[in-house]
């Protein structure tokens, strides 16, 4: 797979920073249609997706680091003098606990699930 041209790499960086198509086009001295065309190219899409994956992982790690603080804050709300605050905290906790999903504890079942997921991914990629 070919590497992206320097202007394409700059465009991806600007897209990732949240700039508009118009601003990116103006900044790089390219027409908007050029940027649109790049956004249809598999290499460009792949690099954009890689950046999105990295960003998502960073966000998930940040949220996980705040998780204990959020749980403590909900616990504090349960001790509030305001009955509505207590009720909302209680409902939030109950809602979250009900949505917990626990996977299999059987390694054979986990392996089968992984194999099925891989097969589905291969089928999906063939249909793209």
Give the list of residues 6+ apart from residue 11 with CB closer than 8 angstroms, or none: 24, 28, 30, 35, 38
Contact 12, 48 (CB under 8 A): yes
Q: What is the pLDDT of residues 1-31, one digit of tens each?
A: 578 999 999 999 999 999 999 999 999 999 9
Number of folded domains in the chain? 2
Q: Is residue 74 part of a domain?
A: no
> Is residue 19 helix, strand or coil?
coil
**Global model pTM greater than 0.85:** no
Average of per-residue pLDDT values in the chain? 89
- Give dist(CA 10, CA 15) in Å, integer: 9
Expressed as residue numbers, the domain containing 128 is 80-128
4-11, long-range: CB < 8 A, 24+ apart: 4/43, 4/44, 4/47, 8/38, 8/44, 8/47, 9/47, 11/35, 11/38
> pLDDT-based confidence at 124, cuts 50/70/90?
confident
Which of 66, 93, 114 represents a domain boundary (last residue)? 66
């Amino acid at each position: 797979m070919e590497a992206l041209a320097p202007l394409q790499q700059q465009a991806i960086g600007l897209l990732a920073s949240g700039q508009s198509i118009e601003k990116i086009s103006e900044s790089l001295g390219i027409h908007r249609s050029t940027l649109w065309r790049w956004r249809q190219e598999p290499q460009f899409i792949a690099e954009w997706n890689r950046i999105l994956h990295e960003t998502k992982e960073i966000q998930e790690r940040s949220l996980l680091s705040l998780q204990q603080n959020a749980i403590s804050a909900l616990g504090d709300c349960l001790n509030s003098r305001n009955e509505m605050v207590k009720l909302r905290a209680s409902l939030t906790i109950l809602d979250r606990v009900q949505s917990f999903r626990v996977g299999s504890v059987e390694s054979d079942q986990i392996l089968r699930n992984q194999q099925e997921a891989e097969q589905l991914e291969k089928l999906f990629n063939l249909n793209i």
